[in-house]
């Protein structure tokens, strides 16, 4: 497809009022080092123009993660009567933001 000069930006799919087809999709999460929504939008518009898209639909989401760490240490006691187990467990909650960029061509 030939490049486009202007790209419409949507953050809700129901806001797209004219018929369209999806012509591509991209995924960005915090591990790519781009978490700023304005920066994501600018880069998506540049890519959309190169690919000939008329619009982009940016879908953002958050994934909750619970991670657990367990540490266990076994050692003999000083009187050699048995094994002593020492351990601890910890968990924490985190959120990972993510974005799906849909590239759109109007019909």
Chain segment 31-75, per-residue pLDDT in tens: 555 567 888 899 999 999 999 999 999 998 776 766 766 666 666
Number of domains into which the chain is organized: 1
For residues 21 and 58, the answer to whether their CB atoms sit within 8 Å is no
Residue 58 lies in a domain: yes
Tell me the H-state helices in 1-107: 37-51
Residue 85 lies in a domain: no
CATH at residue 99: 3.30.110.70
Pairing relationship of beta strands 8-10 and 55-76 according to DSSP bridges? parallel
Q: How many residues does the chain have?
A: 107
Q: What is the pTM of this model?
A: 0.67
């Amino acid at each position: 497809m030939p490049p486009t000069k202007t790209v419409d930006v949507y953050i809700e799919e129901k806001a797209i009022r004219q018929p369209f087809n999806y012509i591509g999709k991209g995924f960005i999460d915090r591990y790519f080092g781009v978490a700023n929504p304005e920066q994501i939008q600018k880069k998506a518009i540049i890519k959309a123009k190169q690919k000939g898209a008329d619009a982009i639909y940016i879908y953002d989401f958050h994934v909750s993660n619970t991670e657990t760490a367990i540490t266990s240490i076994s050692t003999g006691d000083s009187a050699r009567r048995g094994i002593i187990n020492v351990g601890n467990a910890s968990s924490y909650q985190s959120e990972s933001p993510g974005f799906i960029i849909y590239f759109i061509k109007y019909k």
